[in-house]
Chain A
Amino acid sequence: MPAYILRRLIQSALILLGVSFITFVLLYILPADPVRQIAGRSATAETVASIRSQLGLDKPFIVQYGTYLWNLLGGDLGRSYLQKTEVGTLLVSRLPATLLLMVAAIFCELLIGLTLGMIAALYRGRPLDNALMLGSFVSVSAPQFVVALLLLYVFAVKLGWFPIGGYGTFAHLVLPALTLGILGSGWYSRIMRSSMLDVLRADFIRTARAKGLNRTRVILAHALPNAILPVIAMVGIDIGMFMSGIVVVESVFGWPGIGQLAWQAIQRVDIPIIMGVTLVSACAIVIGNLLADLIAPLIDPRIRLR
């Protein structure tokens, strides 16, 4: 087990290195010059050249990348070109909001997805099952922007139950978490349904029924814990999906997370911020996957890590 974790950690570091390299290359070949963005439209050629050399952007690609990595090892993500603030400071100021939203959203999607998936399995083949599966299909394919605005309009503007965007209280959290939750629940309900169906067909369920346990107890105490396993494993992978969804949802609800930061930085070609956010997202995905693999044997002793 420790050897496995060590190997996975080394793999993760390599993946992050690869991600940083690819992102750096893409930003390097981007036909937009960050120096001109900084220097402004009244700048002379000398000013542009001077800023370029101060930022080290006149150096060959490999030197620029090497410098970036070296600073990164020392925990220095650089300074934003346009805000002049430490990228680390910007990320730290925004990570709590994103993490909070992510936890709340995962809670929502599990609650909605698992419940609906279970109900669908129990009513297999009946109209309710079909309706729920159709619903899950819609939720998976619905555009985030539209769902977010729809919820905002109905529950915040028309009904006034929640604030119209923003951050700070529990009430602010509900709508963005629900948006991500509804959109993500579709996957979970489908997986939960098929997993539940498999378990319900298993011998030990028949045994439990045969020894006289009532249906509710069989489902909740015997079937559910077993059916839930493959779903839990998905959560780690799901973190990656979240990173993309969060950009849109954070923008609509004015949620001050890193998705919003990324979007603004991309529009302004603020390369240090784009690099920083990309690395943080990549870390989240790598850690998510690692956790999913590490948790699996804990909840199912039949799985062994080698």
Chain B
Amino acid sequence: MKKLLMSTAIAALMAVPAFAQGEEPKHGGNMIVTYKDDVATLDPAIGYDWQNWSMIKSVFDGLMDYEPGTTVLRPGLAESYTLSDDGLTYTFKLRPGVKFHNGRAMTSEDVVYSINRVVNPATQSPGQGFFGMIEGFDAAAAGDADGLSGVTAPDANTVVINLSRPDATFLHIMALNFSFVVPKEVVEAEGADFGKKPVGTGAFQLTEWSLGQRLTFEKNPDYWISGVPYLDSFTVEVGQEPIVALLRVQNGEVDLPGDGIPPAKFVEVMSDPAQAALVVEGGQLHTGYVTMNVTAAPFDKVEVRRAVNMAINKDRIVQVINGRAVPATQPLPPTMPGYTKDYAGYAYDPEAAKKLLADAGYADGFETELFVMNTDPNPRIAQAIQQDLQAIGIDAAIKSLAQANVIEAGGAGTAPMIWSGGMAWIADFPDPANFYGPILGCGGAVEGGWNWAKYCNEALDTKAADADSIVDPAKGDERLKMWSDIYMAVMEDAPWAPVFNEQRFTMKSARLGGDDALFVDPVSIPVNYDYVFIKE
């Protein structure tokens, strides 16, 4: 027996409330977005920075998608899907009549090609590792097999994906940019230049790219969601310093500064009611934390790690960054499913921290090093942490280095403590599993891994695998509870001191319309281009 999990009709019903309270969207107009850096690539298999992430979402589509402004999954290029009872076989029915920007009809062969392409080592995709649950992954990823044995296209409208283990995050993976569908003939014709000349099925198509100057995206008139997008076009102007972009917003020349409000101008903007009215604030799937290397003294003692958690005055650190964050109690950010609401975290208590240190045999404290990325505000935050640690007798020398060097030291396990700012984990997809494996699981605690605390708790790894094998949506809450328990156990072991969750502050011009949720969309940063509109 197979069960139909979700269909377009249900998704369409769910889409309505998101806009019910907003104003009526208008069609037409051009929006101008600015960025400091040129866009690296628009190839969905390659692009992996927060700048190109949402542009790629507008040019391409995957089998799955999210309700705009939310973390709720909905079908995308797949009209519907079914899951076998053993949780191992997904069968996707493709939406009929979907065309690439070059006019060719999209088929199941394209889906198969696109997923195989990401896993193929020759593509050098940073997303390869996300597909590990698909049958035949190891052989394909090593280049020993021609594609994934688990991904097949029985007919032009059907894609069948067999997994080697049940995985509750699989549908999120199908909504990741790395799963987006590309036309084989164009990719093969353009080769490595496909990232500069992308062709997809998305709401917008790239019509002009002047390197270092601007990218112009125009509405796809044949987009498969009727009435979307609202804008005729949007222009991304690159090479604009954030501070210059802000001046241009104030001058009415720019609709959305992609790099946000420059920190030096934040207080000024927020204290001017006219400008503050243009800012939308929201949570984001981010946590800033201090890692402690649990494999070496003194942080091999759990008392010491708990003491550090109690020593850090999070409220003061939030003040250091002008209140652009909320204090964190646990690894998961508050907007992430599975967040434990009633957990207060380690309270700020230097006296208790000192006592814990004494219990661990460090009554006189110790010397250590705190690695930090060298761009503002991270060194200032590290100094605040340094002072807090000083108060309980820990003498932490600050090692302020370029981002790549801190990541290198973290991966090599040579950094006793790291403040994660500027390199911190921002979720790839809105699921609690994404905050565990690479950064807290044993798999990441290897040379070059992102688990900088080198924390490896086999029991928790097993529990994580158990949680992710629950694929029945009806048991979703049970699964989230298991994840919540996992993060509570992590806090007990305290390999991290979670410090804050950054808030997002998106500035937009007064003429830009759309629900506030779109401007703090958890998966599209800075904005979901497909659903915003120009009011006038």
Contact = CB atoms under 8 A, between A and B. Distances in A.
A261 B129 contact: no
A27 to B, nearest CB: 12
Contacts of A46: 141-142
A38 B41 contact: no
A41 B405 contact: no
Nearest to B143: A50
Contact of A32 (B124, B213, B404, B438): B404
B192 interface: yes
B239 A260 contact: yes
A82 B212 contact: no
B298 interface: no
Interface in A41-82: 41-48, 50-51, 54, 79, 82
Interface stretch (A89-97, A115-123, A130-138, A193-201): A89-97
Contacts of B409: 31
Contacts of B128: 39, 42-44, 47
B40 A83 contact: yes
B472 interface: no
B169 to A, nearest CB: 12
A40 B247 contact: no
Contacts of A166: 213, 237
A167 B241 contact: no
A255 interface: yes
A45 to B, nearest CB: 7
B124 A51 contact: yes
Contact of A264 (B37, B43, B213): B37
23 contacts: A30-B404, A31-B408, A36-B448, A39-B128, A42-B128, A44-B128, A44-B129, A47-B141, A54-B121, A82-B41, A82-B46, A83-B40, A83-B195, A84-B41, A90-B211, A93-B212, A157-B251, A165-B244, A167-B239, A251-B36, A256-B239, A264-B38, A269-B404
Contacts of B428: 42
B477 interface: no
Given A149-B243, A254-B239, A85 B212 contact: no
Contacts of A31: 404-405, 408-409
Contacts of B308: none
Contact of B448 (A48, A93, A167, A267): A48
Contacts of B38: 260-261, 264
A149 B130 CA distance: 44
Interface in A164-196: 164-168
Contacts of B241: 165, 251-252, 254
B247 A37 contact: no
A300 interface: no
Contacts of A39: 124, 126, 128
Which among B143, B211, B411, B446 has the greatest number of chain A C-beta atoms within 10 A?
B211
A41 B404 contact: no
B210 interface: yes
Interface residues of A, number: 54
A277 interface: no
Contacts of B37: 264, 267
B243 A256 contact: no
Given A85-B192, A165-B240, A260-B239, 12 more contacts: A31-B408, A43-B129, A45-B447, A83-B41, A93-B210, A152-B244, A156-B247, A165-B248, A167-B213, A167-B239, A168-B213, A260-B38
A26 B126 CA distance: 26
Interface of B: 36-38, 40-41, 43, 46, 48, 121-122, 124-130, 141-143, 192-193, 195-196, 210-213, 237-241, 243-244, 247-248, 250-251, 253, 402, 404-405, 407-409, 411, 428, 438, 446-448, 450
Given A31-B405, A152-B247, A254-B237, A40 B211 contact: no
B418 to A, nearest CB: 14
A45 B125 CA distance: 14
A85 B130 CA distance: 25
Interface string A94-125: 10010000000000000000000000000000
Interface string A236-262: 000000000000001111111100110
A263 to B, nearest CB: 9
Contact of B247 (A54, A164, A264): A164
Given A33-B404, A36-B448, A260 B212 contact: yes
- Lowest 6 CB-CB distances: which A-B pairs, in order? A40-B126, A32-B404, A256-B212, A42-B129, A254-B239, A93-B211
A261 B85 CA distance: 53
Contact of A252 (B141, B244, B407, B438): B244
A33 B408 contact: yes
Contacts of A149: 243
Contacts of A156: 247
A153 interface: yes
Contacts of B253: 164
Contacts of B446: 45
Which among A32, A43, A264, A268 has the greatest number of chain B C-beta atoms within 10 A?
A43
Contacts of A97: 212
B126 A255 contact: no
Nearest to A165: B244
Contacts of B438: 41-42
A40 B48 CA distance: 8
Contacts of A84: 41, 43, 46, 192-193, 195
B408 A41 contact: no
Nearest to A85: B196
Contact of A85 (B36, B193, B238, B247): B193
B90 to A, nearest CB: 21
B200 to A, nearest CB: 17
A42 B40 contact: no
B142 to A, nearest CB: 6
Nearest to A89: B211
Contacts of B450: 41
A168 B428 CA distance: 37
A225 B253 CA distance: 47
Contacts of A250: 239
Contact of A38 (B122, B124, B193, B408): B124
Contacts of B210: 93, 256
A165 to B, nearest CB: 5
A133 to B, nearest CB: 33
Contacts of B244: 152, 164-165, 252-254
Given A164-B251, A254-B237, A82 B40 contact: yes
Nearest to A43: B129
B126 A38 contact: yes
B126 A157 contact: no
Contacts of B124: 38-39, 51, 54
A84 B142 CA distance: 21
A91 to B, nearest CB: 10
A82 B125 CA distance: 10
A268 B41 CA distance: 13
B197 to A, nearest CB: 11
B161 to A, nearest CB: 19
Nearest to B409: A31
Given A40-B127, A254-B239, A254-B241, A85 B195 contact: yes
Contacts of B141: 44, 46-47
Contacts of A43: 126, 128-129
Which among B41, B213, B241, B244 has the greatest number of chain A C-beta atoms within 10 A?
B244
A24 B211 CA distance: 26
Contacts of B213: 166-168, 256
